[in-house]
Structure formats: C-alpha cells, structure tokens
Amino acid sequence: MGRLPLLRATITETLRLRPPAPLALPHCTRRHTSVGGVPVPAGSIVIPNLFAAHHDPETWHRPDEFLPERFLEPGAPWRALVPFGCGARSCLGEALARAELFVFLGHILHHFRLEPPVPGALPKLGVTAGTVLRCPPFCVRLVPCHPPKSSWTPLFPIGHQSL
C-alpha cells in the first residue's frame, strides 16, 4: 500500500464521503458528559452519525468535495475519519475490508481505464439514506489498457532452434 499512496488516499476519501453505513452502532454513556454543548446523562444511548462527522466543515476543508489529495498532505485529520465505526464497537473487519478494496481497485485500474458510457456523462453522487447509503445506479465502460494476449503460445517461436 505504501507504494501506491494515491490509490490508498482515493479509497480513504471514498470511505470518508460515503461510509459503508451512515450511522455507527449504538453506544451507552458510562458517565455524564456533553456533545456539542448538549448534556448527555450517564446511561444514555447515543448513535454516532458517521456521515455528519465526515462532512463537518470545522474538521474537513471543502467537506462535500472528492479530494483524495487531502490524505497525502501532512496534518490530514485521520483521527476524525471513522468509516467503520468507533470505540469498542468499531468493525473488526476494517483492516481486511481496506486490504480487499486496495487489491480489487488496484487490479481493476492496472488492467482497465474507467470511462463514462457517453463522454461527459458522469454519474450522480447523491445518496438515498437508510441503513446503508445507496447511490443511484450508473454505467461505466472498462477499456483495456493493454491489448489482449493470445491464449496460444507456440512451443518453439519462429527462428528459435530446438536442440
């Protein structure tokens, strides 16, 4: 992952803009506290809003824009990034999910160029809220980066002498 920092930053920015689930699992407060100046008594059930946290303009510069380069710069707010939840109930599969995203997307981008089906027709990035965020369906063309290789390879290429 260290050899492809822009791919890692792109995945991270995608998870910031569209976390797998907009709300984390419920948490129970152990003691009296406050959130944003609002008192929260001990024993209260709180549900962290990950989507709102990832779009907070006090934490994120231009929060509604797709800017993967924000994670390439020093001082990126990594601690505010919680796409897989936070605390004791954060997703145990986060490392595996990130690794799978990296390998899958890296493999696709190594072999294909992604293009809209019609030039200039980019997908809409709006979402429908729910248990998970849903983007409207869209199409994309996968254009091979390299010409396909023949599945047949001669045992002795022309001009090669066999012994």
Joined together, the tokens standing for residue 127 give 């979402």
Question: pLDDT (tens digit, 9 = 90+) per residue, 37-56?
Answer: 999 999 999 988 999 999 99
Averaged pLDDT, 71-76: 92
At residue 57, the 3 state secondary structure works out as coil
In a domain, 95, yes or no: yes
In a domain, 143, yes or no: no
Distance CA(69)–CA(62), nearest Å, equals: 12
In a domain, 161, yes or no: no
Torsions phi, psi of 128, nearest 5?
A: -105, 125
- Choose among 82, 93, 96: nearest CA to 52: 82
Joined together, the tokens standing for residue 106 give 């890296």
Which residue segment(s) compose the domain that 87 sits in?
Answer: 5-111
- Residue 14 confidence class, pLDDT cut points 50, 70, 90: very high
User: Whole-prediction pTM value?
Assistant: 0.78
Please list, in sequence order, all residues whose beta carbon lies within 8 angstroms of the beta carbon of residue 57, skipping any fewer than 6 positions away.
Answer: 63
In a domain, 92, yes or no: yes
In a domain, 66, yes or no: yes
Check whether 118 has a pLDDT greater than 60: yes
Using alpha carbons only, give the angle 45, 97, 89 rounded to the nearest 5 degrees: 20
- Choose among 52, 25, 46: nearest CA to 34: 46
Residue ranges of the annotated binding site for heme are 91
Distance CA(29)–CA(17), nearest Å, equals: 27
Question: pLDDT: is 138 or 6 the higher one?
Answer: 6
Joined together, the tokens standing for residue 97 give 């999910």
In a domain, 120, yes or no: no
In a domain, 70, yes or no: yes
In a domain, 62, yes or no: yes
Residue ranges of the annotated binding site are 91
Count of structural domains within the chain: 1
Check whether 101 has a pLDDT greater than 90: yes
